[in-house]
Structure 1
Amino acid sequence: MIYKILKKFNLGKDLTELLKHSKNYISAEVLTKGLAFITLPIFTRLMSPDEYGVLSVFVSFTGILAIIFGFGIRGAIGRYYYEDTDDFFEYFSSNFWFVLSASIGLTVLVIIFRDEIYKFLNIPYGMIYIALGITIPQVIYQLYQAYLTAAKSSKKVATLNVTYAFVSTVLAIIIMYQMSDERYYAKAIGQAIGVILMFGITLWYLNDHIKFNVEKKHLKYSLVFGLPIVVHLLSQNILNTFDQIIINQLVGSRETGLYSVAYKIGMIQNIISMGILKSWTPIFYEKLNENKISDINDLAKKYALIVSFVAVVLIFFSKEVITILVDKEYHEALIIIPIIVVSYFFFFVYTMYVNYAFYQKKTKKIALFTIIAGGLNIGLNYLLIPEYGYIAAAWTTLASYGILFILHYINVKWVLDIKEITSLKVFVLPIIMILFAWGIQHLLFISNTEYNVGLLIRIVCLIIPAYFLINRIKG
């Protein structure tokens, strides 16, 4: 039905296919992440900013563990699927058993160093143990997701992700209502049960495909491709969430909770970007295989306009979003939402260029550049947060994503010497639209404009980017 509707708009075959699969991924992202937004009024009223801060650090820690335990292999699976071979499930089986056995060993190692981790994270031991319990089933589920995404099984990916989010969220709320304090445990336990359910479903679907077989050539392919990606993903995680750990260390869990809530609202931008990216990547690989460079550039223009329009809307109406979604105790974090939105736009731009390096399997510099950006982020955070508070973390994230984009553009353009890549001109109009919205919103904020007048101004100003979006996409 959706496919037929899209065809009537005469958007072109490639954009129609992109939006067709993006619809599934974005729907899943909206429903899964949307549950996080919908339940923000519940969680921010049941948990104090201090408790929410502890939960945020827990989420950051589980993300770090999943990256380390996964060895970057899910990215290798997505790439191997497009190799000209007929042994994909033999390859998948080798990686399945390797990840499972290595993860068990890493779990033991983390338990040995639990005291040092406790001192660094400043969260309860119980949350550390729950994070460990989540990680192994999570990385196995991610391998299965990588296969489904490469196979363009977007509906199945969406269904599984929505199921996981719904189960874990509902259980968290039920458990939380039974508790009087330390309610972050409820969210962690709900997530653990949801992940274990997904692990069971994964084993059920893969039962006929997984063989007890480990081949050296398959592991070599994955580790050569994946290990640099581990460093890249860790550094990326630093850019996304490590600032919450640093805020918790330097200024306290309350400020961490405020920052985390603002970050979740800003992540609406990333939901759209990543939802489209999951559809973009296989189409991008196919077009490169067929050397259809003009098709890639045309699709990139439309993709960029869609993402930038979402950013404009979110910047203009961030006040309404935070007022509706969270308790007033968190409202002071409003000021950093536009900064986070712009940061995620630069994250999107960088992914447009890093995919060229992924396609050519040149992943070492990807890791290096992310280390540079991540190191910059850590250094600036430790330097600026003590003086300027959690607001500094939003600015350092924006600066780091800007550097990451520049480095990857230079790498693709001049180091890898790829002659035909997406032109920077593609992003000029989207960036102008976003800066325009940010400027208007800031002027309204500092001038203390009466609400109804400000709302009218924002709605009128939204017509301009909407006009460009409609005309360029149909053109």
Structure 2
Amino acid sequence: MGIISKLKGKSGVYYLFFEGVVKLVPFFAIPVFTNNWTKEEFGKFSLYMSIIPVLSLTLSLGQNVSVKRFYIDYPRQMRGFLFNLYAVGFIVFAAVILLELALPFDIVAPEYTRVLLYVGCLFALIEMYLSYLQISKQVLLYNIFYFARNSLPYISTVIIIFTLSDRSVWFAYGHLSVGVVIVLFAMKDVIRGAGAGFRKKYLKFSLGIALPVIPAVVSAFLLSMSDRYMIAYFYTKTEVAEYSFAYTVASILSMTFLATNKAWQPFILENLKRKNLPRIRKYARYYTLFVLAAMLFMILTRKLWVLILSNESYLVITDIIPVILVGLFFYFLYTVLSNVAFYHKKMFLFSLPAIIGAVVNIALNYFMLPLYGYKAAAWTTAASYFTEFAVIFGITYFIFKEDIFFGRSS
């Protein structure tokens, strides 16, 4: 714990470093994928990657959200709480296995279905453990597992492409293998300090926090994935591949705020508890300027990123990358403010922006994709993220009376 204690004071720097490493692995792997897979195979891979977060969240019943809230209130009972969540998680896992065996069905493609379901179950358990490590500021251990889960499947798939096969489903098998190892380690850690067995009060607390949040988190993931599935519905996996690649390039921007958000969330929750709004405002402004500068840099260099990560056949999507980047910037602003409603335990208000954003996204895609082509998804996504931000800004400013961006910072 001595090393971890030293890391706590610089958690943002370490999160950014490890997030950078995690992003560099796909940075080198994606060109291998785009140059060795057909666009149809890359389209399957993109659909698989977009559904995993939704599936794991649904199978976990959103319990990873309750982990953070429980730690804030009862940090000394944390492992006992996790033990109870894992018990429920394994029951869900068993039910999924029985369902898939009894009623076979396809997701993405026939060769993906079973492994996708198993990975979803494992990732549900992993997310609970990662949430605990993050909120408890165990920076080093968190990033080791985060790196393993997100990077090792890319590395193993690149090796397989050059030695055995060019089928994209091998990536899913890499996810499955890594997931098993991480869950086994997490189980050992959780059981070691669990104490008493199953407790109903833990389940009641977790469901009380998690169930109202599920619509918000599912809606957030639907907002990010529905465009690809609707493109697949109206067009082909080739168009899915091209749009997904544009989103992949734009998502480099996400590295700048999803990494630091892991440090921002504990920071803003702690300072809301202390009612230290001036400190929050000061760093929120620095944070926003940093992400804005990164967005402008990505817009100016987008063609270079496309050529680095693929080949000239993907240059057709350079025109929609700036649109997606603007949308992701509004999503960043949403992530900054959403912690306010979460802190106040107003789960309906926490959920509302994402639900509205997802509904807007699905409706716009349904009407615009057939009329304007698959590239219209970039505009619908940007409009939906702006809607999400506008709603959470209104909630924060008018209901909670907390002006994060424009109030006095000293």
Q: What's the TM-score once normalised by structure 2's chain length?
A: 0.92
State whether structure 2 residue 36 is matched by structure 1 residue 46.
Answer: yes
State yes or no: 1:329 paired with 2:313. yes
Aligned to 1:129: 114
Q: Is the 8 A contact 1:50 1:257 kept in 2?
A: yes
Distance 2:274 2:407 in 1: 24
The Cα shift of 1:17 comes to 7.6
Pick from 277, 286, 293: which aligns with 2:261? 277
Q: Would you say 1:420 and 2:402 are equivalent positions?
A: yes
How much has 1:60 moved relative to structure 2?
2.0
Residue 131 of structure 1 and its aligned partner are, at CA, apart by 0.3
- 1:239 maps to 223
Give CA deviations for 1:95-139 in whole Å, capped at 9, x if unaligned.
Answer: 221222123324434555543xx3xx5x32220111012122211
**For 1:87, what is the secondary structure of its paired residue?**
helix
Corresponding residue of 2:198: 214
User: Hey, what does 1:3 align to over in structure 2?
Assistant: none
- Of 271, 278, 281, the residue aligned with 1:294 is 278
Task: Give the TM-score taking structure 1 as reference length.
Answer: 0.80
Q: Say if 1:424 and 1:347 are closer, same or farther in 2 by CA, change over 3 A.
A: farther
Tell me, in whole angstroms, the C-alpha distance in 2 between the residues paired with 1:254 and 1:211. 52
CA distance in 2: counterparts of 1:153 and 1:85, whole angstroms: 13
Q: How does 1:291-440 map to 2 (within 5 A)?
A: 291-414=275-398, 417-424=399-406
C-alpha distance in 1, partners of 2:223/2:284? 24
CA contact (8 A) 2:100 2:114 kept: no
Q: CA deviation at 1:156?
A: 1.7
Q: Deviations over 1:141-166 (max 9, x none)?
A: 11110111011112221122223334
Shift of 1:200: 2.5
Q: By how many angstroms is 1:371 displaced? A: 1.9
My pick for the range that moved more, 159-168 or 342-351, is 159-168
2:149 corresponds in structure 1 to 164
CA–CA distance in 2 between the matches of 1:291 and 1:170? 45
Aligned to 2:4: none
Equivalent position of 1:95 in the other structure = 85
* Pair 1:137–1:210, CA change in 2 (3 A): farther
Query: Is the Cα contact below 8 Å between 1:27 and 1:158 reproduced in 2?
Result: no
The corresponding residue for 1:8 is none
Residue identity opposite 1:216 in structure 2: K
Q: Which amino acid aligns with 1:156?
A: L
Match of 1:249 in 2: 233
Structure 2 residue runs of 5 or longer lacking an equivalent are 1-6
**Structure-2 separation of matches of 1:21 and 1:273:** 14
Residue 252 of structure 1 deviates from its aligned partner by 0.5
Matching residue's letter, 2:382: L
**2:130 maps to which residue?**
145
**C-alpha distance in 2, partners of 1:195/1:336?**
34
For residues 374-416 of structure 1, the C-alpha deviation after alignment (integer angstroms, 9 at most, x for no partner) is 11111111111122222111110110011111111222222xx
Q: Choose from 53, 67, 74 the match for 2:57.
A: 67
Q: Whose Rg is larger?
A: 1
Closer, same or farther in 2 for the Cα pair 1:216/1:206, shift >3 Å? closer
CA distance in 1, matches of 2:352, 2:100: 25
C-alpha distance in 2, partners of 1:339/1:224? 38
Whether the 8 Å contact between 2:68 and 2:135 is mirrored in structure 1 is yes
Residues 96 and 117, structure 2, Cα contact 8 Å, conserved in 1: no
Q: What CA distance in whole angstroms lies between the structure 1 residues aligned with 2:284 and 2:351? A: 24
* Aligned length, in residue pairs: 404
CA displacement at 1:333 relative to structure 2: 1.3
Greater Cα shift, 282-291 or 154-163: 154-163
- Structure 1 pair 399/112, CA: closer, same or farther in 2 (3 Å)? farther
1:176–1:187: 8 Å Cα contact kept in structure 2? no
> CA distance change for structure 1 residues 397 and 110 in 2, over 3 Å: closer, same or farther?
farther
**Percent of aligned positions that are identical:** 25
For residues 375 and 59 of structure 1, the distance between their equivalents in structure 2, rounded to whole angstroms, comes to 21
Question: In the aligned structure 2, how far is the partner of 1:316 from the partner of 1:160?
Answer: 34
Picking from 57, 80, 83, the partner of 2:47 is: 57
Q: Please tell me whether residue 230 in structure 1 is matched to residue 211 in structure 2.
A: no
Partner of 2:25: 35
CA distance in 1, matches of 2:208, 2:215: 12
Code of the aligned partner of 1:286: E
Q: CA deviation at 1:206?
A: 2.9
C-alpha change, 1:424 and 1:255, in structure 2 (3 Å) is farther
Residues 313-333 of structure 1 show CA distances to partners (whole Å, capped at 9, x for unaligned) of 111111111111112222211
Deviations 1:60-107 (A, max 9, x none): 222221010111111111111111563222222222212221233244
How far has the Cα of 1:425 moved from its partner? 7.5
Q: Distance in 1 between matches of 2:44 and 2:59?
A: 23
Q: Which amino acid aligns with 1:71?
A: L
Q: Aligned to 1:125, what secondary structure does the other structure show?
A: coil
C-alpha separation in 1, matches of 2:103 and 2:201: 33
Q: Secondary structure at the match of 2:320?
A: helix
Segment drifting more, 160-169 vs 388-397: 160-169
CA contact (8 A) 1:369 1:404 kept: yes
SS in 2 for 1:126: coil
Return 5+ residue gaps in structure 1 as ranges. 1-15, 427-471
Amino acid at match of 1:176: I
Change (3 A) 1:186 1:88: closer
Amino acid at match of 1:56: S
Amino acid of the structure 2 residue aligned with 1:100? F
Q: Following the alignment from structure 2 to structure 1, what is the Cα–Cα distance between the partners of residues 25 and 407? A: 36
Q: Name 1:21's counterpart in structure 2.
A: 11
Matches within 5 A, 1:177-216: 177-178=162-163, 183-211=167-195, 213-216=197-200
Aligned-residue offset at 1:211: 5.0
Using the alignment, how far apart are the partners of 1:34 and 1:111 within structure 2?
38
